[in-house]
Amino acid sequence: MDSSPAKVTSTRRGYWLSMMALVVALPAALAVQTWGSIKDWRSQHLRQPLSASLGQPIDYAGASWTVTRFTRLAGSAGSAVVLAEFEALAADPKALGSVPCEVRLSDGSGREWRPTLFADPVVRKQYPEAEQRSQCGGMAFAATEPGKPARMAASFSIPPAASGLRLSIALYSALPSYLSVSEPRT
């Protein structure tokens, strides 16, 4: 075994160089991983609204979108129901057919609701044509021919006292931007 001072110094120097490299490499690896997580979180939570009004077409995600109905109805069992109908005219509807879509309703106090799967009986009775429309996303676009709008609908069961309602429509391919339409004033 060679324990000459030159060999010991060389071994110590290699040890300390590798420790310094570890001190630099470990935080760098953590920073890269954290940055990816921050970008993912930001794309899901920090969003930029594109404000539109009822009946006003607005360009979003490669289509011209129009919210055609935003109606609050007295629901069954003391609840309220909001019916939102909207359409998107895309040059290539098949391209949007594979893009996930998210529709939400929120109020002035920050509460959020997702669409109910089955429309309230009040909606089916007053607006039976709404039941024939697809929910936002793939199926609505896949069944649409070029030059024709994809017609969609969403209904929400909310507390009757909810106020300051805003409808949000987000296509994942266009995040962080999303469409935002306020409940019409009556």
The structural domains of the chain, with segments of one domain joined by +, span 1-46, 48-182
DSSP labels for 39-102? HHHHHHHS-EEEEE-TT--EEETTEEEEEEEEEEEE-GGG-EEEEEEEEEEES-HHHHTTS-EE
The pLDDT of residue 28: 78
Q: In the structure encoding, which two tokens stand for residue 157, read together?
A: 């069961």
Q: Phi first, then psi: what are they for 120, rounded to 5°?
A: -60, 145
Q: In the structure encoding, which two tokens stand for residue 32, read together?
A: 């890269």
Annotation: CATH topology of 48-182: Immunoglobulin-like (2.60.40)
Secondary structure of residue 185 in the 3-state scheme: coil
Distance separating alpha carbons of residues 55 and 153, to the nearest angstrom? 14
Distance separating alpha carbons of residues 175 and 152, to the nearest angstrom? 20
Span 87-132, pLDDT tens digits:
999 988 888 888 899 999 999 999 999 998 776 788 888 988 888 8
The pLDDT of residue 30: 77
The DSSP element (H or E) to which 38 belongs, if any, is helix 5-45
Place of tokens 């007053």: 126
Is the pLDDT confidence value at 1 over 60?
A: no
Is the pLDDT confidence value at 62 over 60?
A: yes
Give the mean pLDDT of 163-180: 93
